[in-house]
Amino acid sequence: MKTLLLSHDVTFRKQAERRFTTKISNNTSVSSRLSNFTKSPTWFHDLPLEVLLKIFSNFSEKELRKNIIPVCQKWRYAALKPQLWKCFEVVGGKIPLNRICYEINRFPYLQIVVLKSVHDPKQIIRQVCRCLSNLKELTIKDCEEIPEKTLINVLYSCRNLEKLNLSGTPFRGKKVFEDISLLPNLKSLNLAKNPYITIQKLTTCVLNCTGLEEFRLSKWVSLDEILKFDDQDVSPILLNLSSSLRSLTLDCSNLTTNSFNKIFTCNCLERLSLHRAKHLDGEMFAKLHRYFPALTVLKVKHASQISDANIVQLFTEGEEIMENLQTLDLSGCWQITA
């Protein structure tokens, strides 16, 4: 009996030792795994390239250049991937031309190019022609005069242009205006402050741009003092664009009531800017809500016939329409006192 008890005790002791040994070994393996994890954590800069590209796609080009590229080599490599760069902007002449051309060649997926106050944009424009056939928006603003041939090459090379802004950049030649009208997807056109534009060229261009949604011709200056942009000139343009225009900016120095009546036929307008509208009648202004139900931006400058009573009438009778108005600019309307 004693022998049996001893053997049972030994057996129990061995089983207990076996369980204890297993427990220790399991704890050791867990602790070793934890130590390995703490030794090599996965930080943000260790993310795979495809994950970084997905994250960086939410940043603008300016943010990439300023905040992402300087962080580390891996982020720099990811942030400079061509597919992340859709917009390229050059202001002034501080950046060397060869550097600008290199950047344009480096980012073939660019959809927007903006050149502002560039001393000699011809070389940059040629590089755009070579590398960016799928360009959507091109702005050449306040630059030196562009040769007709250079501008024509852009229009032939970038056939998918939807927005063309040549404000403040002079150019000559009739063929340019003809080629602008041949752009099949053009929706926005800005020809402001071009001293060489003529009524004939403008009419040729705009009358053939049937899908134009935004048209800007403010602060227009002509070298020919006899040439005036009057009611007879503006009427066919506005009639042609009345069903498509969403935004209109116009210098109204020589326009009378007849032209304003034509403007009021553009019932789809969301943004209306009338500069030097000295012949705009106050009663006509007070009825704007009847013609533009989707208006969100209204700028009427130097309209000497608009009074406080006209404004009150506009916002009283058109209260529901005017609630959607986000911007109102009546600068230069000297009869307004409030």
**Residues 237 and 172 grouped into a single domain:** no
In contact, 255 and 282? CB cutoff 8 Å: no
DSSP summary character for residue 108: T
- Indicate whether 294 and 304 sit together in one domain: yes
The answer to whether residue 3 sits within a structural domain is no
Please give the full DSSP string across 31-43, using - where no structure is assigned.
Answer: HHHHHHHHHS---
In a domain, 175, yes or no: yes
Taking 60 as the threshold, does the pLDDT of residue 216 lie above it?
Answer: yes
CB-CB contact of 127 with 102 (8 Å): no
| Structural domain includes residue 141 | yes
End-to-end CA distance of the chain: give it in Å, rounded.
Answer: 116
Domains identified in the chain, total number: 3
Give the bridge partners for 137, in sequence order: 112, 163
Q: Please give the Cα distance from 165 to 168 (Å, whole number).
A: 9
Domain match, 94 and 159 both:
yes
> How confident is residue 232, by pLDDT bands cut at 50, 70 and 90?
confident
**Tokens coding 63:** 């943010």
Token pair recorded at residue 18: 């076996």
The pTM for the full model equals: 0.71
Rounded mean pLDDT of the chain? Answer: 80
Whether residues 96 and 54 share a domain: the answer is no
Could you tell me if 70 and 109 lie in one domain?
no
CB count in 10 Å sphere of residue 167: 20
Residue 109 and residue 62 in one domain: no
Same domain, 121 and 108: yes
CA distance 12 to 20: 12
For residue range 154-196, what is the model confidence (pLDDT) as tens digits? Answer: 999 999 999 999 988 988 888 888 888 888 899 999 888 888 8
The single residue listed with the structure tokens 């009358």 is 207
161 and 138 inside one domain? yes
Q: What share of the chain is helix, strand, coil (3-state, %, to 5)?
A: 45, 15, 40
Same domain flag for 141 and 60? no
**102 is a domain residue:** yes
In this structure, is residue 124 part of a structural domain?
A: yes
Reduce the DSSP state of residue 199 to 3 states and report it: helix
Residue 123's CATH number: 3.80.10.10
- Evaluate if residue 331 carries a pLDDT over 60: yes
317's enclosing H/E stretch is helix 308-317
Q: Kindly state whether residue 16 falls inside one of the protein's structural domains.
A: no
Pairwise CA distance, residues 24 & 32, whole Å: 12
Q: For residue 337, is it within any domain?
A: yes
Please give the residue range of the domain that contains residue 77: 45-84
Instruction: Look at strands 271-275 and 112-116 and give their pairing.
Output: unpaired
User: Which of 180, 199, 218 is the endpoint of a domain?
Assistant: 199
pLDDT at 154: 92
When pLDDT is cut at 50, 70 and 90, the band that residue 6 belongs to is: very low
| 147 and 234, same domain (yes or no) | no
Does 92 share its domain with 143?
yes
Residue 66 or 217, more confident? 66
Say if strands 112-116 and 87-91 run parallel, antiparallel, or are unpaired: parallel
Residue 9 lies in a domain: no
From the number of C-beta atoms within 10 Å of its C-beta (0-12, 13-18, 19+), residue 171 rates as buried
Are 162 and 174 part of one and the same domain? yes
Other C-beta atoms closer than 10 Å to the C-beta of 218 total: 20
